[in-house]
């Protein structure tokens, strides 16, 4: 089958013939109809995460997809050939930039019937990121104030809708041309990052979702209410990730130090 592979870090993807995926007893074999392209894909291709996600070229890139089920493993429940599904394959089993991929059943869901395969493929990674930031880490409650940076981006558009669904007052940063679009998604306040300083405009926020890092994250900390949280999604992973990934103690110590600094 054909797939787009990383031959060398920092170089463009190459179209190549690769082996058909093996289908394990808990796997769903999916014919890929559409695949999402994320910043994470770019960072991995550029070798930025080599220390924590040691993919060795050549490898197939791609973290989310939608497609039709071709085959299921002997222990798979809930899926059958012909189902339209979407998925975010787990780390070390990525590879949605291919004609077919075998995915663990726990990482697959039936795609919503009201959207296209292309739309479904755009959701898994960004939607899971927004959910983990706002619900799992942020524990957003009705009436709280949430700031979503880069609201017009992939994670931002989902996070605004989710925060509003959770009952929060939602502010976001974006360019002025996207203000109406973001208000239609549920944003109560749109800060034009080109002409306004969000640090001067906002205060007393319970949660900030930061996808930019650096100085932007530092400024975000200064608008938090007492006990508020800033969740960054561009910096280093936290110590729990390091332990789960089985990283060596020195790398885990470095990550713990960086996490504590934030």
Q: What is the pLDDT of residues 211-231, one digit of tens each?
A: 888 889 889 999 999 999 999
pLDDT at residue 50 in the model? 84
Q: In residues, how long is the chain?
A: 262
pLDDT at residue 244 in the model? 53
Calculate the CA 70 to chain-centre distance.
Answer: 26
pLDDT at residue 254 in the model? 34
| 104-161 pLDDT, tens digit each | 999 999 999 999 999 999 999 999 999 999 999 999 999 999 999 999 999 999 999 9
Residues 6 or more apart in contact with residue 115 via CB below 8 angstroms: none
Over residues 189-218, the mean pLDDT reads 94
Residues 6 or more apart in contact with residue 139 via CB below 8 angstroms: none
| 11-58 pLDDT, tens digit each | 999 999 999 999 999 999 999 999 999 989 999 999 988 877 889 999
Q: Look at residue 178 and tell me whether its pLDDT is greater than 70.
A: yes
Domains and CATH numbers, the chain: 2-117 (3.90.180.10), 125-232 (3.40.50.720)
pLDDT at residue 200 in the model? 96
pLDDT at residue 243 in the model? 56
pLDDT band at 241 (very low <50, low <70, confident <90, very high): very low
Q: Look at residue 251 and tell me whether its pLDDT is greater than 80.
A: no
As a dihedral over the C-alpha atoms of residue 45, residue 255, residue 107, residue 211, rounded to 10 degrees, the angle is -70
| 59-91 pLDDT, tens digit each | 999 999 999 999 999 999 999 999 999 999 999
pLDDT at residue 253 in the model? 37
**H/E run at residue 86:** strand 84-87
pLDDT at residue 53 in the model? 81
pLDDT at residue 214 in the model? 84
pLDDT band at 260 (very low <50, low <70, confident <90, very high): very low
The model's pTM: 0.84
Contact criterion met (CB below 8 Å) for 63 and 126: no
């Amino acid at each position: 089958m054909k797939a787009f592979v990383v031959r060398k870090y920092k170089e463009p993807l190459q179209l190549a013939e690769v082996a058909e995926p093996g289908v394990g007893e808990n796997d769903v074999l999916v014919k890929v109809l559409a695949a999402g392209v994320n910043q994470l894909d770019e960072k991995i291709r550029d070798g930025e995460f080599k220390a924590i996600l040691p993919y060795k070229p050549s490898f197939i890139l791609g973290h989310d997809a939608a497609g039709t089920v071709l085959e299921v493993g002997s222990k798979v429940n809930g899926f059958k050939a012909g189902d339209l599904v979407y998925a975010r394959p787990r780390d070390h089993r990525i590879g949605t930039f291919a004609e077919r991929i075998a995915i663990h059943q726990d990482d697959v869901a039936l795609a919503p019937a009201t959207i296209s395969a292309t739309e479904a493929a755009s959701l898994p990674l960004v939607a899971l990121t927004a959910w983990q930031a706002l619900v799992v880490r942020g524990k957003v409650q009705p009436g709280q104030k949430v700031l979503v940076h880069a609201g017009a981006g992939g994670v931002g558009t989902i996070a605004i809708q989710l925060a509003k669904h959770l009952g929060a007052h939602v502010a976001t940063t974006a360019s002025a041309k996207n203000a109406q679009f973001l208000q239609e998604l549920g944003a109560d306040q749109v800060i034009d990052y080109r002409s306004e300083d969000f640090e001067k405009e906002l205060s007393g926020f319970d949660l900030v979702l930061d996808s930019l890092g650096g100085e932007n994250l530092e400024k975000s900390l200064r608008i938090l209410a007492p006990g508020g949280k800033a969740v960054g999604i561009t910096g280093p992973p936290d110590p729990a990730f390091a332990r789960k990934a089985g990283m060596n103690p020195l790398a885990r110590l470095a990550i713990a130090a960086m996490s504590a600094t934030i």
